[in-house]
């Protein structure tokens, strides 16, 4: 077992070891358990979030053992980089990895649990949220700030931004961090980064308008590209789903 802690949480090593070693029987299930398992634990007065990544398939067990950083390690390191850039993300606490001499097995990422008011997903389904337009514009400014700081969040999708109301406005927190790039972003990459967020043209119009104000670029240019990329992503997504259904059908017959 390998483990790395944020220095603030080093004193809690034995408690965290216990959570990981008894993950199956302790803790409270949280959110969607389909792809990876998420659980909440109490660490003194704080609620923490432990994400258990599934054992990868054989090729990736070899790749993660010898050649690539695990999802847990990347999540932890990227969270620390975001914090250094003053970008919202739950406080990283630790990550754990289990390996054999030749294969990579389970891994866990531990972070602070944020009690949020919404995720971006709610904005795509409930247009009566109070101050809806303000939130969507604030989210766009948050994304512009990411881009200005050289952060390319590859999983910029509806469930991966938490939104919290504050006295001054809204705070945004990125979660599901294991796919990121840190580099200077060109205009096309920036606008394409919005493509997974919504199917609603009215939302794309508002985000394009706010991004134009932030960047000084032309609204029409931004909107045309953002909508084109949104449609292209939707087409690809639904094509993939249809293919999966067909494969499932043939497997069962």
- Which domains are assigned to the chain? 2-112 (3.30.200.20), 118-239 (1.10.510)
Alpha-carbon gap, residue 29 to 48, rounded angstroms: 12
152: Cβ contacts below 8 Å, ≥ 6 apart: 180, 181, 182, 183, 185, 189, 193
Q: What is the pLDDT of residues 129-169, one digit of tens each?
A: 999 999 999 999 999 999 999 999 999 999 999 999 999 99
* DSSP 8-state secondary structure symbol assigned to residue 7: G
The whole-number pLDDT of residue 33 equals 65
Between 240 and 114, residue with greater pLDDT: 114
* DSSP 8-state secondary structure symbol assigned to residue 252: T
Mean pLDDT of the chain: 94
The whole-number pLDDT of residue 98 equals 96
pLDDT greater than 90 at residue 63:
yes
Task: Write phi, then psi, for 200 (nearest 5 degrees).
Answer: -90, 120
Instruction: Residue 207: name the closest of 218, 221, 194, 216 by CA.
Output: 194
User: Binning pLDDT at 50, 70 and 90, where does residue 253 land?
Assistant: low
Instruction: Please give the average per-residue pLDDT across 206-219, as a whole number.
Output: 97
pLDDT greater than 80 at residue 15:
yes
Instruction: Please give the average per-residue pLDDT across 184-206, as a whole number.
Output: 97
- Looking at the chain, the whole-number percentage of residues with pLDDT higher than 90 is 89
Alpha-carbon gap, residue 208 to 226, rounded angstroms: 7
- Looking at the chain, the whole-number percentage of residues with pLDDT higher than 70 is 97
Alpha-carbon gap, residue 9 to 32, rounded angstroms: 27
Instruction: Please give the average per-residue pLDDT across 182-199, as a whole number.
Output: 97
pLDDT greater than 70 at residue 191:
yes
Instruction: Residue 197: name the closest of 162, 157, 236 by CA.
Output: 157
Question: Can you name the residues that pair with 37 across neighbouring β-strands?
Answer: 52
The whole-number pLDDT of residue 237 equals 86
pTM of the predicted model as reported, rounded to 2 decimal places:
0.91
Alpha-carbon gap, residue 38 to 51, rounded angstroms: 5
Alpha-carbon gap, residue 190 to 168, rounded angstroms: 27
């Amino acid at each position: 077992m390998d483990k790395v802690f944020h220095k603030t949480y080093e004193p809690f090593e034995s408690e965290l070891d216990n959570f990981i070693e008894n993950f199956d029987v302790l803790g409270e299930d949280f959110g969607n358990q389909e792809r990876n398992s998420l659980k909440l634990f109490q660490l003194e007065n704080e609620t923490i979030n432990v994400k258990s990544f599934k054992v990868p398939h054989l090729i990736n067990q070899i790749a993660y053992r010898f050649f690539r950083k695990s999802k847990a390690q990347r999540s932890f390191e990227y969270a620390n980089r975001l914090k250094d850039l003053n970008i919202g993300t739950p406080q990283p606490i630790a990550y754990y990895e289990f390996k054999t001499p030749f294969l990579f097995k389970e891994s866990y990422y531990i972070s602070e649990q944020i009690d949020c008011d919404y995720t971006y997903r709610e904005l795509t389904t409930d247009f009566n949220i109070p101050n809806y337009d303000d939130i969507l514009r604030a989210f766009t400014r948050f994304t512009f700030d990411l881009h200005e700081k050289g952060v390319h969040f590859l999983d910029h999708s509806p469930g991966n931004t938490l939104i919290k109301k504050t006295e001054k406005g809204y705070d945004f927190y990125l979660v599901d961090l294991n796919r990121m790039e840190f580099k200077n972003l060109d205009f096309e990459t920036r606008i394409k980064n919005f493509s997974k967020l919504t199917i609603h043209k009215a939302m794309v119009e508002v985000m394009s308008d706010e991004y134009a104000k932030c960047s000084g670029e032309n609204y029409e240019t931004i909107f045309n590209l953002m909508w084109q990329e949104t449609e292209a992503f939707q087409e690809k997504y639904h094509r993939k789903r249809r293919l999966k259904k067909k494969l499932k059908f043939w497997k069962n017959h």
